[in-house]
Each structure stands twice: as structure tokens, then as C-alpha cells.
Structure 1
Amino acid sequence: MTTLLLLNGGVGTRAKAGMPKQLVRVNGIPLFIYTLRVADELNEINKVVINSPKGWEEQIQTLISDYAIKTNIEFVDAGETRQESVYKMLSLVKSESVIIHESARPLVDKNDFKKLIASKSLNVSTVLNIPFTVLKKDCQSSLLTENLNRDELVNIQLPQKFDTNILKLVHNKYNASKQSFTEDASMLIAEGEVVDTLYGQDKNFKVTTPQDIHLAEYILSKINDESYSEQ
């Protein structure tokens, strides 16, 4: 069994929706509900820990009840940063492994989770190849300085799976040191931990802008799966 940490605490200002983007209805369904419906179909996920932006906690809980999510769900307050949010959520995890996902990626599907759960690696991240040229820039002069080999680079996606004890130890260290990371695989790598990779799907993109919301709406409307059908 594993626990899903669903990062749901952002305010989504770039989405320009007048509300946290995870509450925007896409084809009639709030964005964050899509991931919960997928998790609800997986027996391997026995608990979800979810956070909420300040002031929206009651509405998040009401929507989860309205959509009859059966999986055990526990709620925590959002942290000031993504890293702090994960740190707070980990205090509720008792399973040996933990999966981290974010509600801004509503096009995750059961196979994305199942591949992670089935992986023999303790720590593994979903990734994509980088299809474009990547150059290094000098931050002081703004001059391009180096051509990076994109065959050696990957675009980090979510979901990710980690050994719970390892992740807690690393978070405890960096919470005390105040050093920050934008996601958890890079934090483990900084500690010398091994993180494996699994290739994900292009459609599992992060919804950030109004254009992303429209794209997600179009793709979700084309998916013929009961997990995405409206109640």
C-alpha cells in the first residue's frame, strides 16, 4: 500500500481564473477532482493527503464529499512553499512508500501511477525527453556560454514515488537548513540518493495558463474513460 500526497495548495495567479486554478471546472468537473478519481480506482493507494490554499479549505472538502471519493483522505494546511507543503504532508504518512502528484496535472492516468507502484526502485520520477535545444546562460552577463547535450537531460514530471523513510530524513535535514528545492527528486539527489526514471506521457502536462486550461479541457473531452465521465 502507498499514500498519495496531492499538492493542491497553490493560488494559480498565472491561470487568471479569479480563483485557485485547481477549482476551475473543466468539462464541468473541478480540476483537482480528476486526480482523486484516478486514485480512487487504485487499490494500491489506501490514503490521500491533500492540502488547500488558505481560505478555500471548506470548499475543497465539500467538493470531495460531493464527488463521493471513497479513498481515505486527510487534510493539511498548505505551506508557504511547495517544499514546506510536502514536509507538512509527510507527517501523516505511515506507508512504506509515498507518491507525490499535483492537482495541476489532471491528465494523469492509472497507468502512470501503476508503473511507479510496480517499479522495483525505491525512488523513481516520471520524466520526458527534452525535444529542443538547451543552452546555458551566464546570469550576470546574460550571454550564452555552453551548449548542453539534451540526450543527457530530462524534463521532470510528476507523479514521483519515494521511500517514505528516506524522503522524511531528507526533508527533515533541509527543513532545518532552509535550503530550498523545487521538487523532491533533486532534493534526494543532493543527498546522494539514487533516483530512477520512468518515461511519462506528453498529455500529463502542468496546467498553468488560461491556454493550458483550454487544452486540458479539449483533451479530457476526448478521453473515453469512465473515470473522467461526469456524475
Structure 2
Amino acid sequence: MLTFIITAGGIGKRMGGSVPKQFLLLNDKPILMHTIEQVHAFDTSAELIVTLPVDYLKDWEEMCTKYTFTIPHQVVPGGDERFDSIKNALEKASGEWIAVHDGVRPFISKSVLNQLLTEVKSHRAVIPVIPVKETLRIADGETNATVHRDHYRIVQTPQVFEAKLLKKAYEQKYATSFTDDASVVEAIGARVHLVPGNDENIKITTPLDLSLAALILKNWK
């Protein structure tokens, strides 16, 4: 069985305003609902676990009632760090494979999901990435220099893992170097395999992202 952990435990400071970004409306309903619908449409039998800010658990219940949102999912409280939120969710996860996905990425393609779930069976840890299009420079104080963008990739979610591997990785103590689940798994010596992601799979973190998401949604299938 497959478990999807949809992490939405943050408060979205970069978006501004008083409402966490995952609850902002994208066209007709909260962003998080769009994300859950995409995942559920891909695999209706998958176990869905959603991490939410502790102070917004009741708000989410009210939103589900208001928007008649009935897709089955478990809710777990988020922690101080993303690491803590995922660790809480892993205690509830029962799938053989676990996909961890950002709650504010509602446009993951089915073809990418299929490839991730195929590749994880032989690589144990797989993540979607896209090429860097802009020129990059590395800056260190007053020194800066161009770097070869072909050597870099932009990381997306969902990141998919063998359950035993991911749970073992989350037994270690939190470190500030843990920026995503792949970095947590790498810290115990595991290798991470890359697969091509899709450009539409943006992370909605700013007002401009929200405007772009509305345009993507008009042509999304």
C-alpha cells in the first residue's frame, strides 16, 4: 500500500497576511484541497495523512464542512519544524511506500507520480527535479562567481521512499541541514535517485505564485 503524507504544517510567512498559505483560496477552494484531490485522483486507495498547524485543526474541520470536502484523510498536528511534522505523520503511516508532498503543490502530474512509484522499487529513495533555467552565481561575502547551472537541479515533491528507510532516517535527531526528506535520508548514508519533474508543479509561497497557479489551473487536467 502507498501512504501519502501531505505536509501543511507551516504558517506561510512569505505569503503575508494572517491566513496560512495552504488555506488561501485558489479559484473556488483552499489550495490544500486542490492538492489532496490531485493525490486522491491518482490513487484512490492510498492512505492520506495531512499535517496541519496545531492552532488550525478546528479551522480545517470547518473548511471541510463549508466546502463539502469528503475525501478520507487523517490529520496530525504539525511540530515546530517540518521534520517534527513528518515524524508525527510517520507514526500513523502504514504503507510499504511513503510519498511526502507539499500541501501547496497542487499540480503534480500523474506521469511523474507513475515514474516515481516505479523507480522507488529499485532505488528506495526517489525525488522529482527540474533543470535550472537561469544563470547562477555563488556569492561568499564580497566574492562571487558564475557556476555551471547544468550541475544543479530544482527539487520538487512528492519525494517517495521505502517506508522502512524513511522511518529509520527519522529516528535521528533534527539538524538544520534537513531541508527536505531527501536530506534526512541522505544523512544516514542512503543514496537518492532523481527523476524528471514537471514545470507546473510549483510551490505556492508568494502572491505571484498564487496568481500563476490560477493560470495553470485553467488548463490543468
> TM-score if structure 1 supplies the norm length?
0.86
SS at structure 2 position matched to 1:172: coil
For 2:202, which of 201, 205, 210 is the aligned residue? 205
1:98 partnered with 2:98:
yes
**How far is the alpha carbon of 1:116 from its aligned partner?**
1.5
- Take 2:2 and 2:106, find their aligned partners in 1: how far apart are those partners? 20
- Take 1:96 and 1:192, find their aligned partners in 2: how far apart are those partners? 20
**How far is the alpha carbon of 1:179 from its aligned partner?**
5.0
Aligned to 1:83: 83
8 Å Cα contact 1:83-1:180 kept in structure 2: no
Aligned to 1:160: 159
8 Å Cα contact 1:4-1:48 kept in structure 2: yes
Structure 2 unmatched ranges of 5 or more: none
Amino acid at match of 2:83: Q
Aligned to 1:228: none
8 Å Cα contact 1:125-1:198 kept in structure 2: yes
Closer, same or farther in 2 for the Cα pair 1:110/1:62, shift >3 Å? farther
Aligned to 1:59: 59
Aligned to 1:185: 182
For 1:221, which of 194, 213, 218 is the aligned residue? 218
SS at structure 1 position matched to 2:170: helix
Aligned to 1:229: none
Aligned to 1:70: 71
> TM-score if structure 2 supplies the norm length?
0.90
8 Å Cα contact 1:31-1:104 kept in structure 2: yes
Aligned to 1:108: 108
SS at structure 2 position matched to 1:187: helix
- Take 2:142 and 2:89, find their aligned partners in 1: how far apart are those partners? 38
- Take 1:154 and 1:45, find their aligned partners in 2: how far apart are those partners? 32
Aligned to 1:47: 47
SS at structure 2 position matched to 1:50: strand
SS at structure 2 position matched to 1:56: helix
Deviations 1:41-99 (A, max 9, x none): 2336521111112321122133345444334x111111111111111111111211100
- Take 1:125 and 1:135, find their aligned partners in 2: how far apart are those partners? 24
Amino acid at match of 1:198: V
Q: Which moved more, 1:2-11 or 1:148-157?
A: 148-157
Aligned to 1:135: 137
- Take 1:44 and 1:67, find their aligned partners in 2: how far apart are those partners? 18
State the number of aligned residues.
218
Amino acid at match of 2:184: M
Deviations 1:172-213 (A, max 9, x none): 1134xx454110112222322111111111111111111111
% same residue: 27
Amino acid at match of 1:11: I
Structure 1 unmatched ranges of 5 or more: 226-231
Aligned to 1:173: 172
